[in-house]
């Protein structure tokens, strides 16, 4: 698997081509993170198949090793975790480092808030700018003692706590990371912890808790659990990541004479915004062999070349596609007419300011893209090629790679090293299905 990382990398992508064949992208990152966490906190041995071997998920795995959990793998997507139970973690001897992963540090904060030892958690420069007040305030309201920087960013210091108190929390913004953080803290709390979300967000944590035998109740957009229960080891089959599949889905749509089958992809309805939005834009996407594995809906996705048209993206779809907007912006650039996104201010707080960085990149390759406070207005047009700075954001680097399929000239994407955080085999798979991409290492 392609895992080598250099100080700087760039992608040079020649224009044109088509996407053909059958492909299975790596395992779902969100599910892989949660599989490690809940397996470590369960009693017994859990076998995980389809685990995403990438920098973000490996950081989570190493954190639990540092806290005394015996883990074998990963090897070809297989990981064996010997759980220690909810109260079996040991104090780490060093600060926990999560690289670029906001998911890891936010979800682990919930677990760490319930421990009887203190811990420091941080990451790379990008992570040090990610907002943490959204979790520190409700965790401290539960009785935790979580300290952040003056700007409410990492590093975080979580002081030891004997027992938290349950909370009934209404989230001001829709965030699966906040919801999951508080539910994981609730495992350690006295009484009931409830979280209400203003709009549906990914529900992998709830599904997986249920799979591990932990009672959880949902009433509309409110989910509750009682503290003090137990998790029981299971087997987990991680589906292919729809966020990774999204790049090739859009590639097959915008490239002429393309026909692609993506196997074993997770189609959780809280993650299906990418499919819903593209279909509204006129995409030819069909689902085959739909089934349910380990509580997660899965399908094979067939995608064929399609003529897209611009739309006003429905606000209810925004939380369901929040990680896929970089590649959706590329679809909009190749569509006929105007595409308008609003209600997505969360994009400014990702690994980069994805609204501004994507607008700058689209303009650099000849597309009229106007950023707004909470979204973007894109006029579909002809991509001419050019040089784009991804600002170290993996999803932006991959999105502009796909844009070359409709470009007149070569697209060069700078600062691509962080693609390894979520999709280390991206270049190899892109080459295999017909994209003319070259990776250039700059030492």
Phi, psi torsion values for 182, nearest 5 degrees: -70, -35
Identify how many contiguous H helices and E strands the chain contains and give both numbers.
Answer: 12, 25
Residue 166 resides in a domain: yes
pLDDT at 149 over 80: yes
Please count the structural domains in the chain.
2
Per the listing, tokens 């915008």 go with 254
3 — pLDDT class (breaks 50, 70, 90): very low
57 vs 35: CA distance, rounded Å: 10
Same domain? For 326 and 263 the reply is yes
304, 297, 302: which is closest to 263 by C-alpha?
Answer: 302
pLDDT averaged over every residue in the chain: 94
Residue 131 resides in a domain: yes
State residue 331's pLDDT score.
98
137 vs 362: CA distance, rounded Å: 37
Mean pLDDT within 358-363:
98
Residue 1 resides in a domain: no
pLDDT at 2 over 50: no
213, 218, 212, 145: which is closest to 185 by C-alpha?
Answer: 145
4 — pLDDT class (breaks 50, 70, 90): very low
Residue 81 resides in a domain: yes
163 — pLDDT class (breaks 50, 70, 90): confident
Residue 42 resides in a domain: yes
Same domain? For 252 and 338 the reply is yes
Q: What is the CATH number of the domain that holds 343?
A: 3.65.10.10
216, 143, 125: which is closest to 179 by C-alpha?
Answer: 216
- pLDDT tens-digit series, residues 331-358: 999 999 999 999 999 999 888 999 999 9
State residue 5's pLDDT score.
42
88 vs 91: CA distance, rounded Å: 10
**Could you tell me if 276 and 285 are in contact, meaning their C-beta atoms sit under 8 angstroms apart?**
no
State residue 422's pLDDT score.
85
State residue 18's pLDDT score.
86
Q: Is the peptide bond before 146 cis (omega within 30 degrees of 0)?
A: no
Same domain? For 206 and 126 the reply is yes
- pLDDT tens-digit series, residues 316-328: 999 999 999 999 9
**Structural domain harbouring 160:** 29-237
Mean pLDDT within 121-149:
93
pLDDT at 7 over 60: no
Mean pLDDT within 145-155:
93
Give the domain-ending residue among 237, 260, 289: 237
Same domain? For 212 and 319 the reply is no
126 — pLDDT class (breaks 50, 70, 90): confident
Same domain? For 259 and 335 the reply is yes
Same domain? For 209 and 62 the reply is yes
Same domain? For 243 and 187 the reply is no
pLDDT at 162 over 80: no
238, 200, 231: which is closest to 218 by C-alpha?
Answer: 200
Catalytic residues: 323
430, 381, 438: which is closest to 406 by C-alpha?
Answer: 381
State residue 443's pLDDT score.
63
Residue 3 resides in a domain: no
Same domain? For 221 and 108 the reply is yes
Residue 154 resides in a domain: yes
**Could you tell me if 295 and 34 are in contact, meaning their C-beta atoms sit under 8 angstroms apart?**
no
Same domain? For 22 and 113 the reply is no
pTM (two decimals) = 0.89
273, 296, 131: which is closest to 205 by C-alpha?
Answer: 296
Give the domain-ending residue among 202, 237, 272: 237
- 351: exposed, middle or buried (C-beta count within 10 Å: 0-12, 13-18, 19+)? buried
Give the domain-ending residue among 191, 219, 237: 237
**Whats the size of the chain, residue-wise?**
443
Mean pLDDT within 405-433:
93
Same domain? For 383 and 328 the reply is yes
Per the listing, tokens 């224009």 go with 15
- pLDDT tens-digit series, residues 73-105: 999 999 999 999 999 999 999 999 999 899 999
Structure tokens at 59: 């950081």
202 vs 332: CA distance, rounded Å: 24
Residue 158 resides in a domain: yes
Mean pLDDT within 97-125:
94
- pLDDT tens-digit series, residues 216-265: 999 999 999 999 999 999 999 999 999 999 999 999 999 999 999 999 99
- pLDDT tens-digit series, residues 32-86: 999 999 999 999 999 999 999 999 999 999 999 999 999 999 999 999 999 999 9
Per the listing, tokens 């399609």 go with 306
Same domain? For 365 and 393 the reply is yes
pLDDT at 421 over 90: no
Same domain? For 255 and 210 the reply is no
């Amino acid at each position: 698997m392609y895992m080598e990382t250099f100080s700087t990398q760039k992608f040079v992508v020649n224009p044109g081509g088509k996407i053909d064949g059958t492909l299975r992208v790596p395992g779902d990152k969100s599910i892989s993170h949660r599989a490690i966490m809940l397996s470590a906190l369960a009693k017994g041995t859990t076998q995980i198949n389809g685990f995403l071997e990438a920098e973000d998920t490996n950081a989570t795995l190493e954190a639990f090793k540092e806290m005394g959990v015996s883990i074998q793998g990963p090897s070809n997507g297989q990981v064996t975790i010997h759980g220690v139970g909810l109260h079996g973690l040991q104090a780490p001897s060093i600060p926990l480092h999560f690289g670029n992963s906001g998911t890891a540090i936010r979800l682990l904060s919930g677990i760490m808030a319930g421990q009887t030892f203190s811990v420091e958690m941080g990451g790379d420069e990008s992570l040090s700018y990610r907002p943490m007040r959204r979790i520190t305030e409700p965790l401290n309201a539960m009785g935790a003692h979580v300290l952040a920087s003056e700007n409410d960013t990492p590093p975080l210091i979580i002081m030891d706590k004997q027992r938290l108190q349950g909370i009934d929390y209404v989230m001001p913004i829709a965030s699966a990371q906040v919801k999951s953080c508080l539910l994981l803290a609730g495992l350690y709390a006295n009484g009931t912890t409830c979280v209400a979300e203003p709009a549906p967000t990914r529900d992998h944590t709830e599904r997986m808790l249920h799979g591990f035998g932990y009672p959880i109740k949902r009433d509309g957009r409110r989910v509750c659990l009682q503290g003090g229960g137990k998790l029981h080891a299971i087997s987990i089959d991680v589906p292919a990541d729809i966020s990774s599949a999204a790049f090739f889905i859009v590639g097959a749509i915008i490239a002429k004479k393309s026909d692609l089958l993506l196997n074993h992809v997770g189609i959780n309805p809280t993650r299906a915004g990418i499919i819903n939005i593209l279909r509204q834009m006129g995409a030819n996407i069909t689902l085959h062999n739909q089934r349910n594995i380990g509580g997660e809906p899965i399908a094979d996705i067939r995608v064929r070349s399609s003529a897209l048209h611009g739309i006003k993206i429905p606000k209810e779809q925004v939380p369901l596609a929040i990680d896929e907007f970089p590649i959706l912006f590329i679809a909009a650039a190749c569509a006929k007419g105007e595409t308008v996104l609003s209600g997505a201010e969360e994009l400014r707080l990702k690994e980069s300011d994805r609204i501004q960085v994507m607008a700058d990149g689209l303009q650099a390759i000849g597309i009229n893209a106007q950023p707004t406070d909470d979204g973007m207005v894109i006029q579909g047009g002809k991509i001419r090629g050019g040089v784009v700075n991804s600002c170290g954001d993996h999803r932006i680097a991959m999105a502009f790679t796909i844009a070359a399929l409709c470009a007149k000239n070569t697209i060069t994407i700078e600062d691509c090293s962080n693609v390894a955080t979520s999709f280390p085999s991206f270049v190899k798979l892109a080459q295999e299905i017909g994209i003319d991409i070259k990776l250039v290492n700059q030492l």
